[in-house]
Structure 1
Amino acid sequence: MFRATRAQQEIQGFLGIRPVQVAELELEDGGGVRPGPGSPPVTHGEVFVLVRRGGRPVGTLLGHVPEGADPRTVLAGAAARLAAAPAPAVRGSAVVPATVVVATRERPEQLARALDSLLAQDHPDFEIVVVDNAPVTDATRDLVTRKYGERVRYLTEPVPGLAVAHNKGVEAARGGVVAFTDDDVVTDPRWLTELTAPFAADPGLGCVTGLILPARLRTPAQVLLESHGGFAKGFAPRTYDPAEPPADEPLFPFTAGRFGSGASMAFRTDVLRAVGGFDPATGAGTPARGGDDLYGFVRVLAQGHRLHYTPYALVWHHHRETWRDLETQAYGYGAGLTACLTALLVNRPGLLPAFLARLPRGLAYARTLTASREAGPAADGAPGAHDDRTHAWPARLSRLQRRGMLYGPLGYLRARRALRGVTR
């Protein structure tokens, strides 16, 4: 009798994942349910819900709306536990002038969506810089000059690589804070205000990261990624201080992926310049495949500056859509992590003793990070605060992530060599 292989079973399970609606629910002032960015009105079925209180994110839930039921009534009932939580404290009104950098390459339609949301920010003093990275057409230049004119500055960086493009933006930044987001996001109207406010409150902060949630969950790949936490880091603000290493982070500061992601991050401009910006041999578009954001986080912490995570600075991210995308992403994340660690040790050899002291625990952490995971209840405090991991994480994706980790140091060295060839 024919018996399906493990790989075939994983693919069959993946293809059986059904779409999930994305919505927002406001708990105060009789607020209703509204669809997520670019989503249709909420109907019956599974719904991933961002719950807000006074406009600020306080949690997410996965709800089910029966056919014929009122979505607001059903989802508000499911959110009752979040309604009892204390209201988020409101920060002061100090304004930090900011520069927002968006690096892009040949994705004008996505870029236009991102820029439209950035121009709707409620922050009173900011500029937007688009860095067109190694363009092969004039599509991005034409979009920015035709549609956005003087509202958006356009720069070109001929050397491929996300870190190189970001460094171009850092050089051009006029604001005291330089913020970064991607061309595949929609920013919440208060994103920049919430992302920059902590800098005014704490002069010792070097970096702030924010919340990233899915804009759509229409394909199996998007649902699978988000059911295992996606890019979110939870709904509790947290400050990481190198002078007082967190007791629950024994690998600090080398587990930089726990601090945030590049789609929602900001740095004090002079601090980022002082550490040399991002390592140009890291990031998407280079043989290293990623790790530029993680490198920036650790470099700032290693210089003695604090890093703050705020769940109130929200962007909606358009997750990749196919199985092949997930394979590429898993390998790239593994490679980017170890490429980042290699870059840190190359550029800051003084970190080597601390790295070696954490290496045994780091290897155990890597095994856990890349393990295949069965469906079932999520651990308490899981990223995104999902109620359940409703889908198993395929072993193939775990293997690809491990292979990426093995490749990362070599990829970084190849990227450095390629850069030397460009600059000669």
Structure 2
Amino acid sequence: MLQVAELDLDTLDERPGDAAVLALRPGPGAPPPTAGEVFVLVRLRGRPVATLTGTVPEGADPARVLAALARERLGGTRAPGPELLGDLPRTSVVVATRERADQLARALDSLLAQDHPDFEIVVVDNAPVTDATRELVANKYADRVRYVREPVPGLAAAHNRGAAVADAAVLAFTDDDVVTDPHWLTALSAPFADDPRIGCVTGLILPARLTTPAQILLESHGGFAKGFSARTYDPARPPADDPLFPFTAGRFGSGANMAFRARALRGIGGFDPATGTGTPARGGDDLYAFVRILAAGHRLRYTPDALVWHHHRETPQDLRNQAYGYGAGLTACLTALLVRRPALFPALLARLPRGLAHARAMTAHRGQGQGPGGVPGEHGTNSHPWPRDLSRLERRGMLRGPIGYAMARRRVRGMPLPWEER
């Protein structure tokens, strides 16, 4: 078990006493950090810059110990420049959910604490079998949250329903198993005001808890985080370090933390309803949207300032299901792109040999951990081997993805997009 905490520093330079420590806070829903191992998000004057893992000795002050460790490990890290915020666009936050009212309440409480000046929250109840979600919204959030039901199962169908009823220029999406940082929505929506060519923005995802071996294993191999450097992906200037661009969609972000310019998302036809959790495709809805946005000529921005805390799955079986779903979702996404956008086939075909090699290497070596200071593996080694059975499951999922997509597509064929319904 690792404790999760946030450490806010004024500077990484050496200072006497506690002068550089602005705050040490526990992770969402956690007690204050004490003696033992702590996974800590390091902020500089509020801006996320790194994560590290340290051990707080018995009787020591956690803030002093972790600040000293941050200065030792990150001494060369430069503070981010000032955050320049223009007129923020009105934003709709869409949260798709299915039979997880307790988790949803936690997510909604954090969303209602956002510092964005103009936003709405839309809960999409996806193919519900009980009234638990509807009753939660009606009894606790009726004046602040909109409720809508989507009968077609699948995350993409639910997201499309949310996009249809939302009234804002920017559509943000997150999951019911996250806790959003109070500044999340402001940071996620600001790039749309700064650059009219931005079609999508993604953000940083960190673990809310690291209490089980499965959670630690996932995070020790990267989890959902995409780093602490902001980056803009421009289809007019493909990145030199990514020969597979834009088909390596997984590096752009994840569906638990993404936003789209509404007209851009609707312009690409929204999410493919034959993809996503809750369909035979098992995933790929977010990856599909990222590639389509870039292929349409829009820019995609990743910003670590837009932070959510994700509750990772807790058991080995959860992790096995997740590994299989990752593989299936990847190839389902590629299949969806070719079916719905055949013009992308030549570009994908040219990249296919390197893409298959990349995918195989990714499943065989799911990452090298986070290196010194990252989440430790067994016995604190900082390297926790990715089990071979999970790699095999991911590859099996890759083989199944196109079949799952075909099955799901038959179920939704002929259905209009929600914003086209009469």
Normalised by the length of structure 2, the TM-score is: 0.92
Report the Cα offset of residue 65 of structure 1: 1.1
Aligned pair 1:105/2:87, yes or no?
Answer: no
The residue number in structure 2 matching 1:269 is: 262
Structure 2 CA distance for aligned equivalents of residues 422 and 309 of structure 1: 33
Aligned pair 1:78/2:69, yes or no?
Answer: yes
The residue number in structure 1 matching 2:15 is: none
Q: 1:348 to 1:298 in 2, by over 3 A?
A: same
Identical positions, percent: 71
Q: 1:388 to 1:100 in 2, by over 3 A?
A: farther
What's the CA shift string for 1:32-53, capped at 9, x where partnerless? 3211001111111111100011
Q: Does the Cα contact within 8 Å between 2:209 and 2:311 map onto a contact in 1?
A: yes
What's the CA shift string for 1:74-95, capped at 9, x where partnerless? 1101111435532222122321
Counterpart of 1:351, as a letter, is: L
Q: Does the Cα contact within 8 Å between 2:21 and 2:67 map onto a contact in 1?
A: no
Aligned pair 1:325/2:318, yes or no?
Answer: yes
The residue number in structure 2 matching 1:11 is: none
The residue number in structure 2 matching 1:316 is: 309
The residue number in structure 1 matching 2:80 is: 88
Structure 2 CA distance for aligned equivalents of residues 401 and 91 of structure 1: 41
The residue number in structure 2 matching 1:142 is: 135
The residue number in structure 2 matching 1:280 is: 273
SS of corresponding position for 2:50 = strand
> Where do residues 78-227 of structure 1 align in structure 2 (5 Å cutoff)?
78-80=69-71, 81-82=73-74, 84-89=76-81, 90-227=83-220
Structure 2 CA distance for aligned equivalents of residues 377 and 220 of structure 1: 15
SS of corresponding position for 1:416 = helix
What's the CA shift string for 1:156-191, capped at 9, x where partnerless? 000100000000011111111000000000000000
Report the Cα offset of residue 238 of structure 1: 0.3
Aligned pair 1:365/2:358, yes or no?
Answer: yes
What's the CA shift string for 1:307-337, capped at 9, x where partnerless? 0000000000000000000000000010000
What's the CA shift string for 1:276-322, capped at 9, x where partnerless? 00000000000000000001100100000000000000000000000
Q: Does the Cα contact within 8 Å between 2:371 and 2:383 map onto a contact in 1?
A: no
Counterpart of 1:266, as a letter, is: A
The residue number in structure 2 matching 1:3 is: none
Report the Cα offset of residue 390 of structure 1: 2.9
The residue number in structure 2 matching 1:16 is: none
Report the Cα offset of residue 388 of structure 1: 7.2
Q: Does the Cα contact within 8 Å between 2:202 and 2:254 map onto a contact in 1?
A: yes
Residue 404 of structure 2, aligned match among 397, 405, 411:
411
Q: 1:339 to 1:389 in 2, by over 3 A?
A: farther
The residue number in structure 1 matching 2:29 is: 38
Report the Cα offset of residue 378 of structure 1: 4.5
Counterpart of 2:39, as a letter, is: F
Q: Does the Cα contact within 8 Å between 2:275 and 2:408 map onto a contact in 1?
A: yes
Structure 1 CA distance for aligned equivalents of residues 393 and 287 of structure 2: 20
Structure 1 CA distance for aligned equivalents of residues 9 and 342 of structure 2: 50
Structure 1 CA distance for aligned equivalents of residues 414 and 356 of structure 2: 34
Structure 1 CA distance for aligned equivalents of residues 200 and 164 of structure 2: 17
Q: Does the Cα contact within 8 Å between 1:27 and 1:83 map onto a contact in 2?
A: no
Aligned pair 1:67/2:58, yes or no?
Answer: yes
Q: 1:186 to 1:343 in 2, by over 3 A?
A: same
Report the Cα offset of residue 194 of structure 1: 0.1
The residue number in structure 1 matching 2:2 is: 20
Q: Does the Cα contact within 8 Å between 2:220 and 2:384 map onto a contact in 1?
A: yes
SS of corresponding position for 2:334 = helix
SS of corresponding position for 1:150 = coil
Counterpart of 1:297, as a letter, is: F
Q: Which moved more, 1:78-87 or 1:360-369?
A: 78-87
The residue number in structure 2 matching 1:7 is: none
Structure 1 CA distance for aligned equivalents of residues 369 and 212 of structure 2: 22
Q: Does the Cα contact within 8 Å between 1:371 and 1:395 map onto a contact in 2?
A: yes
Q: Does the Cα contact within 8 Å between 1:114 and 1:185 map onto a contact in 2?
A: yes
SS of corresponding position for 1:417 = helix
Report the Cα offset of residue 366 of structure 1: 0.8
Counterpart of 1:284, as a letter, is: T
Structure 2 CA distance for aligned equivalents of residues 321 and 416 of structure 1: 31
> Where do residues 385-400 of structure 1 align in structure 2 (5 Å cutoff)?
389-400=382-393
Q: Does the Cα contact within 8 Å between 2:371 and 2:382 map onto a contact in 1?
A: no
- Return structure 1 stretches of 4+ with deviation > 6 angstroms: none
Aligned residues: 402
Q: Does the Cα contact within 8 Å between 2:222 and 2:370 map onto a contact in 1?
A: no
Aligned pair 1:50/2:41, yes or no?
Answer: yes
> Where do residues 229-268 of structure 1 align in structure 2 (5 Å cutoff)?
229-268=222-261
Aligned pair 1:300/2:293, yes or no?
Answer: yes
Counterpart of 1:100, as a letter, is: V
Can you give the 5+ residue segments of structure 1 that lack an aligned partner in the other structure? 1-18
Counterpart of 2:213, as a letter, is: P
The residue number in structure 2 matching 1:15 is: none
